Amino acid sequence: MDRARTGTEAGAEIGRWVHPRARLVGGAALVGAVVGALGVAAVALWTGDVRAGESTGFALGALALGCGVLGWAGSVLVGRGVEARSSPPRSE
């Protein structure tokens, strides 16, 4: 017999879905913030100009974000093709 889910069960199911994704995104944000701060500090110390460090760090961060979005979009496009190709043929 199929029974309706209670609010607590639905909340637990959503939590199991959200928790790993939030941990992944949070970890990536933390790594990005640390690497960005270290990059800005390194360029600022190397050139002696804080503005140069800031603008270089921002430019490299934007480049990394653009490459990440491009890679994600490519995997989404390829993933649909792989799913369509790997699914069993439909019998009509």
Q: Would you give per-residue pLDDT tens digits along the chain (92 residues)?
A: 445 566 677 677 787 888 888 998 899 899 989 998 998 999 899 989 999 889 988 998 899 999 999 998 988 888 767 667 766 666 66
Q: Is residue 1 part of a domain?
A: no
Domain span holding position 65: 7-86
Place of tokens 């209670």: 6
Q: Is residue 92 part of a domain?
A: no
Could you tell me the two tokens for 14? 């959503």
Distance (Å, rounded) from C-alpha 66 to C-alpha 76? 15
pTM for the predicted model, two decimal places: 0.60
Q: How many domains does the chain have?
A: 1
Q: Is residue 26 part of a domain?
A: yes
Q: Is residue 52 part of a domain?
A: yes
Tell me, what's the pLDDT at 3? 56
Helix (H/G/I), strand (E/B), else coil: 57: helix
Q: Is residue 14 part of a domain?
A: yes
Q: Is residue 32 part of a domain?
A: yes
Q: Is residue 70 part of a domain?
A: yes
Tell how far CA 56 is from the center of its chain. Answer: 22
Q: Is residue 43 part of a domain?
A: yes
| Cβ atoms 52, 44 nearer than 8 A | yes
